[in-house]
Amino acid sequence: MKLLIGPRQYSTWSLRPYLVLKRAGADFTTLDARYDTPEQKAALSKVSPSGLVPLLMIGEDKIWDSLAISEWAAETYPEAGLWPADAKARAYARAVTAEMHSGYHALRHYCGTSYEHPQVGLSFAPAPEHPDLSADIRRLVGVWTQMRQRFGSEGPWLFGRWSIADAFFTPVAARVRHFQLDLGAHGDEQSIAKTYAATLLSNPDYLEWEKAASV
């Protein structure tokens, strides 16, 4: 099984299923794709039905999209408990994951990852000021705080035990660090969000990704 990924320095979409497959204990290797030039994009489109990464290749089968790969992993490795066991917690986990998958547009736009602003490493850049960005950060702090308070009693992750939601929020935690986003100024008075972001960035699977990105 092979996971086709973009450059680890800034492909946030690739990081998510990587973390999920690692947590599942899946036997997989990564393959690097690039899409900087028209030639590279054309080559990627020959392999990936959507022309995008990540792409999971299982024999002849191809699953594209980070959330679809994660759902596949949850079904294929049920013993890994990739979604919370409790039905209500699971519904919330899916909701916040889906919101991350398709929302937070200002956060993506103003704190995007690129060569200049990699998601890994310890370089820093000041966050631009924009009301939409502030609203997204406030929403993020609210989601992290509410989920931690309501469902987090069994561990340090968003729903206590590690879940796919944590994979989807890991790139955001890297953006918080890189752009030095002030969570405290956006409703994180109790530092619940700050602590959770630090937990995400100390995940050994993430540290492995980060290490591979910096060679």
Asked whether position 13 contacts ligand GSH by CB under 6 A, the answer is: yes
The contacts of residue 114 (CB under 8 Å, 6+ apart) are 10
Q: Contact, 73 vs 168, CB < 8 A? A: no
Q: How far is CA 157 from CA 95, 98, 148, 164, 166, in A?
A: 16, 17, 7, 10, 7
Q: Which residues inside 28-67 make contact with ligand GSH, applying CB under 6 A?
A: 35, 41, 52-54, 65-67
What does the block give as tokens for 181? 């986003």
- The yes or no reply on residue 97 touching ligand GSH (CB under 6 A) is no
- One residue of 6, 84, 118, 160 binding ligand GSH per CB under 6 A: 6
**Count residues contacting ligand GSH (CB under 6 A)?**
13
Please, what's the b/e burial string for 84-107 (b: 16 or more CB within 10 A of its CB; e: otherwise)? beeeebbebbbebbeebeeebebb
* Interaction mask 147-166, ligand GSH, x per CB under 6 A: --------------------
The least CB distance from residue 178 to ligand GSH, in Å, is 16
Q: Which is nearer to ligand GSH, 116 or 129 (CB)?
A: 116
**CB of 67: closest distance to ligand GSH in angstroms?**
6
Could you give the angle at which helices 66-76 and 164-178 cross, rounded to 10 degrees?
140
**For ligand GSH, which is the closer residue by CB, 53 or 107?**
53
Of 11-19, 23-31, 91-99, 122-130, the segment contacting ligand GSH by CB under 6 A is 11-19
For 127, residues 6+ apart whose C-beta sits below 8 A from its C-beta are: 110, 111, 133, 179, 180, 181, 182
Nearest-5° Cα angle at 36, 203 to 42: 110
119 is an interface residue for ligand GSH by CB under 6 A:
no
Among 3, 11, 140, 193, binds ligand GSH (CB under 6 A): 11
In the complex, which residues of this chain contact ligand GSH (CB under 6 A)? 6, 11-14, 35, 41, 52-54, 65-67
